[in-house]
Amino acid sequence: MEDLLEKLGKLTLVEAAELVKKMEEKFGISAAAPVAVAAAGGAPAAAAEEKTEFDVIFESMSGDKKVDAIKKVREITNLPLMDAKKLVEGSGGVLKENCPKDEANKIKSELEALGAKITLK
């Protein structure tokens, strides 16, 4: 039963609509109202899935560890020294895109320990 529910939860709206049509034909039923509820209820469940990849955004820097932050940014991004310095000292920007959750959290904690403000999106 759980396997079936899991498979149903992975259906796209088009696939779900096709399934409903086939069930109506086979069993001679009308599922007009329940389909609307299921479609409305299914969307938040998909949105509630845990995100696994993040963009690591360098927002700003405070404190006296700018040199260490620049070194860490260069290590993470492979940017040239001047670009890493610009990112840390003012402009901010994306450090890493589509980064796995564990890696993103590690980068965030390391840079925040140096006084940086980091956002994961």
Q: Where are the domains of the chain?
A: 2-47, 53-120
pLDDT at 31: 62
What pLDDT sits at residue 12? 81
Mark 51-81 as b/e (b = at least 16 C-beta within 10 Å).
Answer: eeebebbbeebeeebbebbbebbbebbebee
Q: What is the mean pLDDT of each run of 10 residues along the chain (121 residues)?
A: 79 78 78 52 58 91 90 91 89 88 93 92 91
Which CATH number, 3.30.43.10, 3.30.1390.10, 3.30.420.40, 3.20.20.140, labels domain 53-120? 3.30.1390.10
Q: Which two tokens stand for residue 10?
A: 């992975």
C-alpha span between 90 and 88 (Å, rounded): 6
Report the pLDDT value the prediction gives residue 63, as an integer from 0 to 100: 83
